[in-house]
Amino acid sequence: MLIRAAKAVLASMLDDSGVNPSAVTAADVRTTFEVFRRFAAIPADDAAPLEEDGDAVLAQFGTYDFRGQREFSADLTRQFLEAGDEDPPMWQLSCTLHWAPNAETEAVGSGHLWSFGKTLDEFFAEAVVLPGWAWALDGVQAPQDLAIIFDGV
């Protein structure tokens, strides 16, 4: 897979798994997490090597107003550093689930975890127990939506 094809690859994988980003169910949260886990294992042919931090995954959560209103989000982001340049471009593909904030999401606070120095299995094992991701994966409440965004950093 090429870095610039990553969004299409992830979107296709989610679609094949029955996840509709504009009509996400509570059960789709776990499916989205598992799809992203499989997606993270697909090599990016034009990324710098892992030892140069060319391909990494970030799990994060918290209540923010990034979209103009306070909402709780649980996010998985894959970050790519292009190979071959002295000042290589960096790209991020984020897969973010959003909920209306409530007392439970306020209580979990915010946090993040990077995959640097970990295997993907270690990373995802740690990510599922992050307080915000543990809450999201409990499937108590369906998200408002799922946003998939590919941006240069």
Kindly report, residue by residue over 97-145, the tens digit of the pLDDT: 999 999 999 999 999 999 999 999 999 999 999 999 999 999 888 999 9
pLDDT band at 51 (very low <50, low <70, confident <90, very high): confident
Residue 128, exposed/middle/buried by CB under 10 A (0-12, 13-18, 19+)? middle
Q: How large is the average pLDDT for residues 46-56?
A: 86
Token pair listed for 87: 């000042």
Average pLDDT, the chain: 93
**Per-residue pLDDT at 89 exceeds 90:** no
- pLDDT tens-digit series, residues 32-50: 999 999 999 999 999 888 7
Number of domains in the chain: 1
Integer angstrom CA distances of residue 63 from 20, 67, 92: 23, 11, 20
Q: What CA–CA distance (Å, rounded) separates 113 from 14?
A: 23
Q: For position 140, what pLDDT does the model report?
A: 81
Domain that includes residue 30, residue range = 3-152
